[in-house]
Structure 1
């Protein structure tokens, strides 16, 4: 729970201008014709499904988006079941993947070992005697992908995007965000209690009595909270300039004598004269706390951190304790099957190896070719929209189009797969397999330090249902996982594909021009390319998005955080607009032939609603509202469509309808 995640949020392109050979009409079903489309379009399209579909007990939700990764993991599990039962030559990818999976499926051996695998690590913590030895332990954990109190990574320099630099970011807390430590509403208090209960259970499983375990849990929580004070909020983390603080190591040594940056970097195996300290306030606070918090307390904290990091890799009592906390956070009723868990583990640790096997079995090269046509067409439509902007000057339009034209598109799978030859896998040592894979992942990252950025690297695995935009590379990425219904269907008519994957492509493209992406130039550098007047106009339109979405409510009176979600909401609004323009370039889009009783435009907008067809537990929805930069699924449909005039025309939306916004109030940015 304490590992901070670096997320790149995606950016896509667009669809075919001509009918695809062999195209079929995909039927639209489940429409609730008793409802007015302009009152709640999400419910009009998805209501019957939503009211009847059950959420699997092992999941926090069902439907499209992230929840499509559940059936994806079933596919991966099928691959893994097969390969783990085959005879594979030693050292081959098949052997590593198959034996890693088999070791994790062998719960009898895992349970028999109890917490024996982690005892050497706990002994190292017990041997800590002062701050230098504490920091030595911390750096050794960084080497196995455990951030503990220092979050370290190697990423492109925001102001020199062709080179990789060392970066550190805030970390150290167990709850999802700093606000969880300071809110007092009943839902948050329940999560706080569950987290403390989880910590106490971990201590009890490693030998503490109940009283001592509770005491230790409260101590860890208190340190967490002291660290959380210095954290930036999720809204503050959106300020890309404020999160760029490249500092000389010599200056950091003076600023943070207790952290001991020179020794830390030497032990890490890095050679660098500077670090980007993304959130300096955290490291200022950590430097002080290393002295004010007794070493004995830090040792208890680090034990908890290590147990949290590896709880799901140990015996059943640890896995059960972890799940009890997950259940309160997400509302998930029962644990996932061991096969699904292991499919996810392999996807995390040997993702390219598993992705290569997935592509061979499930991904069509025809789909890749058609997807590239879609992306290219959306790119053309976007350029035309930029030309027509009334609020932007000609000089800024030219810069925007240059950035759009320079965009790199990655579709399906990488040109080069990662090398896992250094990962050591044995069939009966699951815990050690995890550590070996994590160690190699760190070595892969460290090897990039001070070197040119590799243009072929992907930051997601191929089977994952996602897409992302990487601003420092000015690239948009669409893995094979998302190139399936309801997003993309190689046999579907253009209306459905433009409304589905076309909207996603337009969404991802717009991330290049949202409140964050707009601050990067065509080469991926954090560098202004706007006139002062145009940027002021752009910011005023961004504020309109913030203001509008802040009025939307979920779960009673819980509001969407308009500031935290502004990038995604901007991308949704513009993504639909550019996808629609691209659709109108196709033969179907130019015509008015009905299919299943719906016009081409109606099918386009229905497809948009279907790709966000999601139902989730209230607990998970609350978690999403508080932490995720995306709006809830219903507002990813209704919110942007309220600002899309062709939607009003397609479904005859009138002033009396609940989704109606006067034309002057509809937001257009791109």
Structure 2
């Protein structure tokens, strides 16, 4: 949700680069003055980051395996939780034996729903249980009141991701749509629906998403603060979507706030319209499909095979991710970050890199002070901005230990639920709270990347 600029470029000293970009004056376009030569000549710079990420992943897999095999972990310690989480995911025999059993506790509740109000109440309840669909709940820094965290409602729910894919003409788009319908039919059959019913429900869910897609804001517009920032009171929100009772839903989710920022009002209006136009069974099947999609890693091979088949239309062939790599994605959290720090980037290393960054900042201050092409007013503002610049290097001062997360030694599906539910709880507790500038923005110590947040 938060607009974050990922820094995947090398940093060069201004004077050396200027030798190759003299045709662009500093005051006309400083970005191109510094970077034009590099932008014009560098071939595929993302490869370097990809290589670093791959090497880091190998280290993380080694750490995960070593931790999972350790016999000396204290009960209820973060390391033990991570070990049990990882090991429960490795136990594919148990996962196969359980079949669709983990899904039934959700599907039974969905099937008992009698009206759309009950349906949305369950949707809100499922957010607390680790399954977030339709409502687009997010909590991040308020773009126009940056001292505080705010509740955002975002557009959500397109399995195929890009809105235009649902209606774009062309063979490749036909192939994608047909593959998605086939995927839905397969998973519906796997949960016990007849072939005819599964095919109908698959088509209905696709049409449901197609109507949702028509209301989606283009990706580029999401970065436009004038379009993607629409602050409303709770009363105004319920007037916008009178068939969705947000006050009650927020109460169920333990969300306490007087206002909310809407990313795309058209999406919520469309959701309200779908409440009128779509049969309750379509909503139910869409929700079932969502839960299956988000928990595929914890379901039997047939579900994973169906998803691989769907993805093959994008990749050009079936690609089966090794189980350990799959689990790295699931278990890539702050606890793993703590283990990574101990092994590869301790306090001494952190201090060394911080000193390098501070020396660069000092050198930059000297250059700014001696700058000849800025006015004194501009130079003073630049120096003030430089003084406010802070660094987040290696890892944050405090890392969450997930003490309250309940992890079972053998139930991987439930463990995924528990982890997601706790993350949702942590997120909603921040609504309307003053921002903690020491916190990192969704970047783990082991993440091979960087970000700039103004």
Per the normalisation by structure 2, the TM-score is 0.86
Alignment pair present for 1:86 and 2:82: no
Question: When the two structures are aligned, how many residues end up with a matched partner?
Answer: 428
Retained in 1: the 8 A contact 2:297–2:326? Answer: no
Deviation at 1:101, TM superposition (A): 0.6
Matches within 5 A, 1:269-288: 269-288=254-273
2:402 aligns with one of 400, 415, 420? 420
Deviation at 1:371, TM superposition (A): 3.1
Deviation at 1:162, TM superposition (A): 1.4
Retained in 2: the 8 A contact 1:412–1:462? Answer: yes
Structure 2 residue runs without a partner (length 5+): 15-36
Deviation at 1:299, TM superposition (A): 1.3
**Distance between the aligned counterparts of 1:283 and 1:298, measured in 2?**
15
**Distance between the aligned counterparts of 1:7 and 1:145, measured in 2?**
24
**Distance between the aligned counterparts of 2:89 and 2:237, measured in 1?**
42
| Partner in structure 1 of residue 339 of structure 2 | 357
Give the superposed CA RMSD.
Answer: 2.9
Change (3 A) 1:403 1:126: farther
| Partner in structure 1 of residue 61 of structure 2 | 77
Retained in 2: the 8 A contact 1:16–1:370? Answer: no
| Partner in structure 2 of residue 107 of structure 1 | 92
Deviation at 1:376, TM superposition (A): 3.7
Alignment pair present for 1:437 and 2:419: yes
Per the normalisation by structure 1, the TM-score is 0.59
User: What secondary structure, in the 3-state scheme, does the structure 1 residue paired with 2:452 have?
Assistant: strand
Deviation at 1:411, TM superposition (A): 0.3
Retained in 1: the 8 A contact 2:127–2:421? Answer: no
Alignment pair present for 1:149 and 2:134: yes
Alignment pair present for 1:310 and 2:295: yes
| Partner in structure 1 of residue 151 of structure 2 | 166
Deviation at 1:370, TM superposition (A): 4.4
Retained in 2: the 8 A contact 1:15–1:371? Answer: no
Alignment pair present for 1:120 and 2:126: no
| Partner in structure 2 of residue 597 of structure 1 | none
2:218 aligns with one of 207, 227, 233? 233
| Partner in structure 2 of residue 466 of structure 1 | 449
User: What secondary structure, in the 3-state scheme, does the structure 2 residue paired with 1:410 have?
Assistant: coil
**Distance between the aligned counterparts of 1:338 and 1:242, measured in 2?**
41
Deviation at 1:399, TM superposition (A): 3.9
2:5 aligns with one of 6, 9, 26? 9
Change (3 A) 1:396 1:280: farther
Retained in 1: the 8 A contact 2:85–2:415? Answer: yes
Alignment pair present for 1:325 and 2:307: no
**Distance between the aligned counterparts of 2:51 and 2:314, measured in 1?**
16
**Distance between the aligned counterparts of 1:7 and 1:78, measured in 2?**
33
Retained in 2: the 8 A contact 1:8–1:469? Answer: yes
Retained in 1: the 8 A contact 2:368–2:383? Answer: no
Change (3 A) 1:395 1:180: farther
Deviation at 1:310, TM superposition (A): 1.4
Alignment pair present for 1:217 and 2:173: no
Change (3 A) 1:333 1:455: same
Change (3 A) 1:219 1:42: same
Structure 1 residue runs without a partner (length 5+): 18-36, 47-61, 472-670
Change (3 A) 1:469 1:431: same
Retained in 2: the 8 A contact 1:323–1:335? Answer: yes
**Distance between the aligned counterparts of 1:192 and 1:381, measured in 2?**
55
Alignment pair present for 1:339 and 2:335: no
User: What secondary structure, in the 3-state scheme, does the structure 1 residue paired with 2:449 have?
Assistant: coil
**Distance between the aligned counterparts of 1:379 and 1:283, measured in 2?**
45
